[in-house]
Amino acid sequence: MILVVGANGMLGQDLLKQLPGEVQGIDLPDIDITSFESIQAAIDRFRPRIVVNSAAYTDVDGCESNTELAMQVNGEGVAMLAMATRGVGAKLVQVSTDYVFDGAKGSPYLEDDPTGPLSVYGESKLAGELNARFNPDHLIVRTQWLYGLHGKNFVETMLKLAADKDELAVVTDQIGSPTWTADLAAAIRALIERDCRGTYHAANSGFCSWNDFAGAIFAESGISIRLNPLTTDKLNRPARRPLYSTLDCGKLAADTGFTPQPWQEALKQYLKQRKG
C-alpha cells in the first residue's frame, strides 16, 4: 500500500488519482509531520510499503520570517518520516524543489550538480533531501513551478488578475519549466513502478520566463491584455529566487522511459480540465 502524506494539497490529490495499486491519503489534522509520535501512529495504522511526502511549507517569502517553522516542516519532519519508514522497511519518496540551486549555472541542472539555496525555503527543502537519506530506500524527486486543479497557483492568479486589469507586469528574468501536478504525479508513478532510488528531476519539458508563461496562459484563454516586462530586483521580495533553475530530466527518461510532455501542451490540457 502507498500512503500519500499531504494528500489534501495540489500535488497530493493528483497522486491519489495516479499512483498504482492501493493508495491511501493522510493530512492535517490526522498527521502532524513535526511530531514523531503522530508520524509513527500513521505508519502503524496503515503499514505502507511506500510513503510519498508531498506535505511542505511552500510560502517562499513567508519562510524568510518563519525560519523555525520552515525547518520543522520541510527539514526535521522529513527526518522523522525517514526514521519511521526505515523502521518498517518502507520506501520514502520525498518531493523537493529547484530552489535548492542558486540559478547561476546557466544551463539545466543535473541531479548531482552542487546545491546552493538562496532562501530559507530552499535551505529547508535541501535539509529535507539530506534527511530523507536517513532511509537508504529513498527517492527524492525535484520539480519546479507547479500548478494544478486543487490549489492556488500562478495560472489561477494570472486569470484572476486579468479579469480586473488591462495590463500586467510579470517577471522576465526568472527561467524555469512550468509543471502541471498531473504530469509530476505520472512521473512519480513511473519512478515507483521501476523501483527507482536516489535523486531525480521531474518537470514538464521546455522552459520559459514567468512573463512568457503568463503570455501563453492569456493566449490559450483568449484574453487580450498588455504584458509588461519586470525584473526580479524590481519586485523586492523577501526571498531571493534562482534566476535560471531549469531541471535536466534526462535521468528520469533514461531510467523509466517516461518523458513529461512540453509545458505548452500541459497548460492546454489543464485549461481544458478546469473548464470541464
- Alpha-carbon distance of 233 to 41, in angstroms, equals 46
Residue at 231 is within a domain: no
Residue at 196 is within a domain: yes
Count up the domains in the chain and report the number: 1
Nearest by Cα to 54 from 112, 14, 103: 14
> Cell 493566449 identifies what position?
219
- Alpha-carbon distance of 263 to 276, in angstroms, equals 20
Regions in the chain scoring below 50 on pLDDT: none
The CATH number of whichever domain residue 98 belongs to comes to 3.40.50.720
Q: Which domain holds residue 128?
A: 2-153+179-205+246-261
The whole-number pLDDT of residue 274 equals 87
**pTM (2 d.p.):** 0.96
* Full 3-state SS string of the chain: CEEEECCCCHHHHHHHHHCCCCEEEECCCCCCCCCHHHHHHHHHHHCCCEEEECCCCCCHHHHHHCHHHHHHHHHHHHHHHHHHHHHCCCEEEEEEEHHHCCCCCCCCECCCCCCCCCCHHHHHHHHHHHHHCCCCCEEEEEECCEECCCCCCHHHHHHHHHCCCCEEEEECCCEECCEEHHHHHHHHHHHHHCCCCEEEECCCECCEEHHHHHHHHHHHHCCCCEEEEECHHHHCCCCCCCCECCECCHHHHHHHCCCCCEHHHHHHHHHHHHHC
For residue 159, give the C-alpha cell: 486569470
- Alpha-carbon distance of 96 to 201, in angstroms, equals 9
67 Cβ partners below 8 Å, 6+ apart?
120, 124
The pLDDT tens digits for 135-163 are 999 999 999 999 999 989 999 999 999 99
CB 43 within 8 A of CB 181: no
CA dist 53 → 2, 94, 118 (Å): 11, 5, 23
CA dihedral 188, 201, 53, 240 (to 10 degrees): -150
Residue at 239 is within a domain: no
Residue at 211 is within a domain: no
- Alpha-carbon distance of 69 to 64, in angstroms, equals 10
The whole-number pLDDT of residue 235 equals 85
The whole-number pLDDT of residue 276 equals 67
Residue at 56 is within a domain: yes
Residue at 187 is within a domain: yes
* Cα angle value 168/56/246 (rounded, 5°): 55
Please give the positions annotated as active site. Answer: 121
Residue at 74 is within a domain: yes
